[in-house]
Structure 1
Amino acid sequence: MKRTALSVILMLAGLAPLHAADLVPAPAEPAPPPALYIGPTFAFTGYFWASALSGKSSTLPPLPPAKIDLTFGDIFKDLNGGIMGAGEFKVDRWIVLTDVMFSKVTSTAKLPGLFFSEAELRTESLTLQGDAMYRLFTNQTVDFDLGAGVRYWNLDNKLTLKSGALAPRIDHSEAEDWFDPVVAARIIAHINDTWSVTVLGDIGGFNAGSKLTYQVVGLLNYKWNENVTLHAGYRLLSVDYKNGSFLYDVRMYGPLVALTYKF
């Protein structure tokens, strides 16, 4: 029980009984636990991924799969356009991550001989991903998220062999799409109020769509202000898919830069 100043004076003057408990200060009330988030919040990220491409992919049946080894410079000179973006929706410990990538590339090459004069390959690629994650641990230094999701792939290839002296024009198209279940984890290490490091990874496929798919993303983050964060890092995305004669076993990898706006 707390005592008034008059009670303390009376006790010291001997006019009121003095107890040992009266000289012990009352314990401080424990501070309430910090709130995780004031939500919901939403953040949109636009990014540019300078990806190289390597692996094997189907071509014109019955020809065997072709080996692919393209630098980003090789891809960029034939790039017709693309979209890359990600979103993050957060309520307390629950997080929903989304990602979209679309690209269209057209490559042409002159062919020797009298059969075909030129080959043209147009490739359209769409990848969509959604993950639901739960923040298992958080403090001022580290956040750890764990969850699962689905990655959707859509590939549309068209090969044109233009007519030559001895052969007519040939057009061949192939289109495939599939869903890959994935399990995902993310760690965010806070260096200080401005700088942080993010490592995100997932693995999946499990023969439900592809045989195996996985990705790893590492980012260095700079918080410009309360709404804007800049990122620079590296991304690796791999998939091994086969359906009949169609094969797409490739790895995409390279540096990326990004900007996030938090609403």
Structure 2
Amino acid sequence: MIEMKSAYCGLALALAVAPAGAADISAPGSAVVNTGSKYQVTLDGWLAGLNGDIGVRGLPTAAVDVSPLDVLESLDGVFAGSFQAVGDSWLLYTDVMWAKISTEADVGPFGGTARFEQKQIVATALVGYELPINVENMQLYATGGLRYQHNEVELDIDPAFFPSVNRSGSQSWVDPIVGLTMHYDVNDKWFVDVMADIGGFGVASDITLQGTATVGYNWTDTIASSFGYKALYTDYEEGGFRYDATQHGIFTRLAVRF
């Protein structure tokens, strides 16, 4: 049932634009000393594959192993953005991501089709406090907050000579998360951002982990871009809905500061 699994693998977000760690929002060369609040909005891109086990109520859990390019073909729409504010010793960060994918494949030895559709929302809200470290041009924040995830799934199977099957499910949950966010200015043009967090703790997910590392460039005092890698793992099960999977792939960001 390889074709069937391909349809089911639509659960992978092909191009999930999603938030990553806090990017530099200071003017080049002035990141070490913050004077008052500074703000940043971003558009993010994440070319992500998916590996793991996913199940919808009424159907057995399916093993998913999809490359970013495979799932990219199934993308119907995607949007993500974030907002960030930084003060003298604190950080506020929020983002939202929405994506929709659908795919159709042949199933069974005698023909038939399977169609899969999924909508996903991921949103994060964080508060951070700068830690006292004695490293020039580096800011390190301890962060805490919440991550909201929503998955809406529909699967239609229409095999030849057998009755069709329709299954759908929708699940939403919120996880507490804690972590670290680091920004380092290599010089007045180049910078490095790293973010890591862990959460869930059985409140909703058994566990959720996220990590992002990027290298960025300040084009002007107000425009910057960055490029790197991002991974998000979540282990969640409730009411017949099973999601134990890792999204991972190349991450890009375009930032505007004001």
Unaligned 5+ residue runs, structure 1? Answer: 1-33
Q: If the length of structure 2 is used for normalisation, what is the TM-score?
A: 0.83
Q: 2:124, 2:103 → 1: CA distance?
A: 27
| AA at the equivalent of 1:56 | D
Is this contact kept in 2: 1:60–1:159, CA < 8 A?
A: no
Q: 1:64, 1:89 → 2: CA distance?
A: 44
Corresponding residue for residue 154 of structure 2: 158
Corresponding residue for residue 240 of structure 1: 235
1:218 matched to 2:222? The reply is no
Is this contact kept in 2: 1:149–1:184, CA < 8 A?
A: no
| AA at the equivalent of 1:90 | V
Q: 1:120, 1:35 → 2: CA distance?
A: 52
1:35 positional shift = 8.9
Corresponding residue for residue 18 of structure 1: none
1:155 positional shift = 0.3
In 2 relative to 1, CA 195–172 (structure 1 residues): closer, same or farther, beyond 3 Å? same
Q: 2:151, 2:94 → 1: CA distance?
A: 19
Q: How many residues align?
A: 227
Is this contact kept in 2: 1:137–1:145, CA < 8 A?
A: no
1:163 positional shift = 6.2
Corresponding residue for residue 26 of structure 1: none
Q: Which has the larger radius of gyration?
A: 1
| SS in structure 1 at match of 2:229 | strand
1:39 matched to 2:36? The reply is yes
CA deviation profile, 1:27-56 (whole Å, cap 9, x unmatched): xxxxxxx99323322101111111010000
Unaligned 5+ residue runs, structure 2? Answer: 1-30
Q: 1:134, 1:77 → 2: CA distance?
A: 41
| AA at the equivalent of 1:95 | L
| SS in structure 1 at match of 2:119 | strand
Q: 1:35, 1:214 → 2: CA distance?
A: 29
Corresponding residue for residue 141 of structure 1: 137
| AA at the equivalent of 1:41 | K
Q: If the length of structure 1 is used for normalisation, what is the TM-score?
A: 0.81
CA RMSD of aligned residues (A): 1.9
**1:56-205 superposed matches below 5 A:** 56-59=53-56, 61=58, 63-113=59-109, 117-137=112-132, 140-162=136-158, 164-167=160-163, 169-205=164-200
| SS in structure 2 at match of 1:209 | coil
- Identity in percent: 26
Structure of greater relative contact order (alpha carbons < 8 Å, 6+ residues apart) = 2
1:50 matched to 2:40? The reply is no
1:141 positional shift = 1.9
